[in-house]
Amino acid sequence: MDRRGGEADRRLRLGALLLFAAVTVLLLAAAGAVSAPQVRYVWPLSMISDLGSGTCFSADGRWICSPRAGAFNAGLVLTGVLLTAAVAVLGRRWGPWLRAALLTVALGLLLLAVFPSDAAPRIHLAAAVLALPLTSALLLVSGIREETVRGSWDVPAVPAVPRLRAVLAAVSLASTIAHLVPSWRIRGAAELISLLALVLIVLLESGVLERTARMVRRDAQPPR
């Protein structure tokens, strides 16, 4: 394998690993917080970020209490760091809208962890807007513009990938409408749908990077 092909292969595989690790950390943090004894989480009503509240209190008609708030917030921070690292590793191999989306959700998660809803509700709300609707909008534009993995290698793109990204981003963005209306009693469910759509997008991009790395590695092998 030539030097340029080897570097591209390593970066693509590392990017795929970082994205997969980010999703894994986020899901494990949420599962650990929800499974804690005495946690108060009712999925149609509760917000995911309620799991990061360090105190027990009532808000919008729901009781919020998360004994493992510290561990959950640490998971959000690590997820944000992993996503940022993936963007740094891949650089311009991703399109600008896709890079912006991943950096936006990373920043949103970091702010959600540092400013939980019981300590700084206004900053927390702004962070939620970054992490969900704004990220979804950026991913939607990325899908419409058919951004995919780019490089100097001759690897055929998969047209269905940006289209699927656009569909999932549209689902996520539409779900945030219900999430942002306080009077609707399905805010938690809507937020969960939005978050799951974003998780699927990240997993999709991780798979695309791994596929591209395999094709780069194959094409860079010297002929026998």
Q: Is residue 206 part of a domain?
A: yes
Within 8 A by CB and 6+ apart from 126, the residues are 111
Q: What is the pLDDT at residue 185?
A: 67
Closest CA to 190 of 206, 202, 172, 208: 172
Q: Is residue 223 part of a domain?
A: no
Mean pLDDT, residues 178-196 taken together:
77
Q: What is the pLDDT at residue 38?
A: 79
Question: Is 154 a residue whose pLDDT tops 60?
Answer: no
For residue 46, the number of C-alpha atoms closer than 13 Å in the C-beta half-sphere is 20
Which domain does 7 fall in, by range? 3-216
For CA atoms 46, 50, 54, 57, the dihedral sign is: negative
Q: Is residue 221 part of a domain?
A: no
pLDDT in tens, 28-44: 999 998 888 877 767 67
Q: Is residue 30 part of a domain?
A: yes
Q: What is the pLDDT at residue 4?
A: 57
Question: Is 217 a residue whose pLDDT tops 90?
Answer: no
Q: Is residue 78 part of a domain?
A: yes
Q: Is residue 20 part of a domain?
A: yes
Q: What is the pLDDT at residue 155?
A: 53
The rounded mean pLDDT for the chain is 85
Q: What is the number of other CB atoms lying within 10 angstroms of the CB of residue 125?
A: 15
Question: Is 81 a residue whose pLDDT tops 80?
Answer: yes
Choose the weakest-confidence range: 50-59, 66-75, 109-118, 162-171.
50-59
Question: Is 220 a residue whose pLDDT tops 60?
Answer: no
**Higher per-residue confidence, 9 vs 114:** 114
Q: What is the pLDDT at residue 1?
A: 46
Q: What is the pLDDT at residue 181?
A: 66
d(CA 207, CA 220): 20
pLDDT in tens, 37-74: 877 767 677 788 888 887 877 666 666 778 888 999 99
Question: Is 183 a residue whose pLDDT tops 70?
Answer: no
203 membership: H or E segment, kind and range: helix 187-219
**H helical segments located in 91-132:** 96-114, 121-129
Closest CA to 177 of 129, 143, 138: 129
Q: Is residue 222 part of a domain?
A: no
Question: To the nearest whole percent, how much of the chain has pLDDT over 70?
Answer: 83
Q: Is residue 13 part of a domain?
A: yes
Domain count, the chain: 1
